[in-house]
Structure 1
């Protein structure tokens, strides 16, 4: 049996945070492939936390749908997740082809930022932070954050 089945949604939440931490460790490096892999892994883990919460019967599909409908960040998370997992993605929340790219500061060769180009230009680091913050608020409101400390 897979260890994740024993950990349930808290295990998925922690996995999401580990991908966030891995991404922050390589964020400013020149290892573009690893950066993009970690971005995609984070957003896939972040989006699929919803499935774990519903499967573990700690949230309803209706609650999760309402959460995603109220959060443009989680809608973008969904689009990044699905666009990086599926060749054809026909039911986006906002953008069927979200684009992630680097921008260089012409005055500092080593300086760049990673951005999502979708409904508007958004720094990836801010989007990651907002997705985690939105999940944390939801879990806290449901009294589930305390389960993460056990």
Structure 2
């Protein structure tokens, strides 16, 4: 289970350089990294539910239902996994897809190009919001869950 929490933190740590426009110069796909974060973030609940050492923790499904950020995270994960939400959404709206805007700077030397991300948004039950802000809120919610559960 600690590995899964570390995996989520690792994926979250990748978002900062993406937001700052540093990550793309090392190769990478912003949409893929955002999706990976929300997928890992939502599926942490399965590790809580099915890990023997966490079997005494409170109802994780109820926690997610009561957390707007994790409800939205669940719908992002399921929307991208299935191309559309195949079950009743957890959040109160049909989600859009990631809306990414970037700027490419071309330098006058071979291989001299840098793509920087200007914005990454998604439409949720709360309106249009920044993907990075939502990711930070999801991380805070997981910390709250584990703290309240005494882990």
User: Do both proteins adopt the same fold according to a TM-score greater than 0.5, normalized to the shorter chain?
Assistant: yes
Is 1:136 equivalent to 2:143 in the alignment? Answer: yes
> Which of these residues, 100, 104, 114, is aligned with residue 120 of structure 2?
114
Q: Which segment is superposed worse, 21-30 or 78-87?
A: 21-30
1:65 Cα deviation after fit = 1.4
Higher Cα Rg, which structure: 2
Distance 2:35 2:144 in 1: 23
- The structure, 1 or 2, with the larger RCO (C-alpha pairs under 8 Å, 6+ apart) is 2
* TM-score, length-scaled by structure 2: 0.76
Is 1:85 equivalent to 2:91 in the alignment? Answer: no
Report if the CA contact (8 A) 1:47-1:81 is conserved: yes
Report if the CA contact (8 A) 1:90-1:96 is conserved: no
Q: Does the residue aligned with 1:93 lie in a helix, a strand or coil?
A: coil
1:98 Cα deviation after fit = 2.9
Match of 1:11 in 2: 3
Distance 1:59 1:137, change over 3 A: farther
Higher share in helix: 1
1:43 Cα deviation after fit = 0.4
CA-based RMSD of the aligned residues comes to 2.6
Is 1:99 equivalent to 2:97 in the alignment? Answer: yes
The gaps in structure 2 that reach 5 residues or longer are 103-115
Q: Does the residue aligned with 1:54 lie in a helix, a strand or coil?
A: helix
> Which of these residues, 42, 47, 56, is aligned with residue 47 of structure 1?
42
* TM-score, length-scaled by structure 1: 0.76
The gaps in structure 1 that reach 5 residues or longer are 1-8, 105-109, 145-150
